[in-house]
Amino acid sequence: MNTEKPATNRLDKLWKRGQELLGVESPIICGAMTWVSEPHLVSKVCNAGAFASLASGNMPQTTLDRQIQTTRGMTDKPFAVNLITVAPNYKEHLETVVKAELPVIVFAGALPKRSEIKKAKDSGAKVLVFASTASLAERMLTFGVDGLILEGMEAGGHIGPVAGPILWQQILFEYSDQIPIFIAGGIATGKMMAHLLLMGASGVQLGTRFVMTDDCIVHENFKTAFQKARAREAMAAPQFDSRLPVIPVRALKNKSTDDFNRLQFEIMKKIDSGEIDRLTAQMQIEEYWIGGLHKAVIDGDVNNGSLMAGQAVGLAHEIKPVKDLIDELICDGEQELNRIAGDLTE
């Protein structure tokens, strides 16, 4: 097997700020995926020169601390923890990652408070925050974040309301000269990565393609479902009533997605009767997805479990080692930049 490091001459000119912020050779981020982004996968990605985050989900504080220490035992490279601001254990998680003095902390879910961002930065960490709309991005800039992750609705799992190409024009074009911006959602190839870097991105984030690696712990049934899937089969779950705000989740359609639709109606009846309040209702929704994802990812029940996947699943049919995936993205990205440079100088 060829163990030579792929050439990155042109890539290095474009993603230098991403390299510096993350402290890595290749600012290619493996997105945090609940039950998936655990110490083994994270360390494999980081040891290959890229970057990854542990997915904290709503795990107990002691479990998160143990996963951080386990990851540190498997890699001496930088990695992050992805904090879900709406998780019941969020405050405890923030305390844990601050105490751990991680180099990077990623906030996801609802917007973090200014004081929480300051707390993370005071620990010495660089702070990345997801921005799904232009207004959120502008607010996070005033809060002093070190970088943004723009995730379009093409992504898998919990998604925002705006398509990636719109976010690139609203936020990437507007603010990439002020702050490093990473693009997520719908990215599957080095060629696409190259064009995003030319548009001003400092790096990219992929999730679905990292699932399709030998080093990912998900059940083989889960990977097989991805191999067979077409892009159009990764569908966003609908919200049926504004009284129950549901963050859309993109997943492959199966019995679990139909059950979720029925669950929304059942929960709305409980809200109407006063049996539960809206906050409790929203927590029941999240518990459904977390449990459903475990069924599919860990147990391999791809009919009743949640098959969270981005539309890039239609381009992710081959299973390979993490290092080979990263090398492929780099080689194809550098080759595309060389092709463009040649076209421009002819």
Residue 2 within any structural domain of the chain? no
How confident is the model over 222-237, as pLDDT tens digits?
A: 999 999 999 999 999 8
Q: Where does 179-302 show beta strands of DSSP type E? A: 181-184, 203-206, 234-236, 249-252
Shared domain for 149 and 22, answered yes or no, is: yes
- Band (2; pLDDT cuts 50, 70, 90): low
CATH code of the domain in which 62 resides: 3.20.20.70
| Overall size of the chain counted in residues | 346
Computed over every residue of the chain, the mean pLDDT equals 93
Shared domain for 307 and 333, answered yes or no, is: no
Q: Domain tally for the chain?
A: 2
- Band (99; pLDDT cuts 50, 70, 90): very high
Residues 6+ apart with CB under 8 A from 306: 249, 251, 256, 257, 289, 292, 293, 295, 296
What is the mean predicted confidence (pLDDT) over 103-109?
95
What is the mean predicted confidence (pLDDT) over 49-63?
95
Residue 247 within any structural domain of the chain? yes
Shared domain for 307 and 319, answered yes or no, is: no
What is the mean predicted confidence (pLDDT) over 174-180?
96
How confident is the model over 124-174, as pLDDT tens digits?
A: 999 999 998 999 999 999 999 999 999 999 999 888 889 999 999 999 999
Give yes or no for a contact between 209 and 188, defined as CB atoms under 8 angstroms apart. Answer: yes
Domain assignment of residue 298, given as a range: 230-311
Read off the tokens for 89: 């254990």
Shared domain for 305 and 319, answered yes or no, is: no
Which region among 153-157, 162-166, 192-196, 272-276 has the lowest average model confidence (pLDDT)?
A: 272-276
Residues 6+ apart with CB under 8 A from 95: 61
- Band (343; pLDDT cuts 50, 70, 90): very high
Residue 246 within any structural domain of the chain? yes
Shared domain for 38 and 79, answered yes or no, is: yes
Shared domain for 146 and 66, answered yes or no, is: yes
Residue 3 within any structural domain of the chain? no
Provide the 3-class DSSP secondary structure of residue 295.
helix
Shared domain for 331 and 299, answered yes or no, is: no
Shared domain for 98 and 164, answered yes or no, is: yes
- Band (238; pLDDT cuts 50, 70, 90): confident
* Proportion of the chain above pLDDT 70, given as a percent: 99
Shared domain for 201 and 165, answered yes or no, is: yes
Shared domain for 176 and 237, answered yes or no, is: no
The structure's pTM equals: 0.93
- Band (3; pLDDT cuts 50, 70, 90): low
On the question of pLDDT at 182 being above 80, the answer is yes
d(CA 183, CA 165): 10
Residue 297 within any structural domain of the chain? yes
Shared domain for 269 and 331, answered yes or no, is: no
Residue 223 within any structural domain of the chain? no
How confident is the model over 12-28, as pLDDT tens digits?
A: 999 999 999 999 999 99
3-state secondary structure 179-200: CCEEEECCCCCHHHHHHHHHCC
Residue 179 within any structural domain of the chain? yes
Residue 236 within any structural domain of the chain? yes
Shared domain for 283 and 340, answered yes or no, is: no
